Structure 1
Amino acid sequence: MSAREQKRADYRHFRVIPTRWMDNDIYGHVNNVNYYSYFDTAVNQYLIERGVLDIHQGGTVGFVVETSCSYFRPLAFPDAVAAGIRVARIGNSSIRYEVGLFRNDDEEIAAAGHFVHVYVDRASGKPVAVPEAMRAALAAIAV
């Protein structure tokens, strides 16, 4: 199935993110750079809520090393963005997240993307194995 054909049911967890007035560009729709912010917000909020990411004190943090986005339908203020997430791959020190963005209650996808986190030791910046608690939280949304 192509990314354009994906539906809400293809994602395991959702975060609703309101658009803001400033998200719109001169063309009257959400500017492309904001989509990556929606990706980050949905994934990191999931990890924080599951208690596996401490953004202030945690010894392990995820660095984005790869990202992409395909755009199919516009989003615009005052839409709500339903960001669906799933995990496509759990490696030794990396995770591939896939994110689908849906406008309001639409079933048709507005944008689909992915990003890869490499987990590193906060102090040294060197890759480390994905912690077991995080693996368990991510297994719940793996496809």
Structure 2
Amino acid sequence: MHYREHALSLGVPEDTILIEPATTNTAENLTLTRDLLAERGLTPHSVLLISRPYQQRRAYATCRKIWPEVEVICGAHPMKLDDYVASIGDVDRVVSMLVGDTQRIEVYAERGFAIPQPMPENVRKAFQRLVDHGYTARLVA
């Protein structure tokens, strides 16, 4: 279900929902959404970012870089890893997505797309073990 339809199913009035259809990544989504709101004279003090659970940390860091004047709140549908894997149907794909997103937390900060965040050493070692075992399909060059 798309986010708009889900919001409608929760009772959000249709005339309060704005759609930004042109994005190809998180930074564009934040920039274009901020512009869409500004065009309507809206200047939020906080934003709620809804994403997949494993993307929340990167979405937060990107928003803090792109839109530093707002308070950032992240949310996702709570789901156990086993349930998420079952919903995708491919363990290797899910592990590759997690590895890719973990890499992006640091790479995007280095490239200026997000704020830097600490990476615990045990996470760094787990990431490297997974890369060494071939989970590289979602890594950025």
Same fold (TM over 0.5): no
Q: Larger Rg: 1 or 2? A: 2
Higher normalized strand content (fraction of residues): 1
Query: What TM-score does the superposition give when structure 2 sets the normalisation length?
Result: 0.30
Q: Which has the higher relative contact order, 1 or 2, with Cα contacts under 8 A spaced 6 or more apart?
A: 1
Higher normalized helix content (fraction of residues): 2
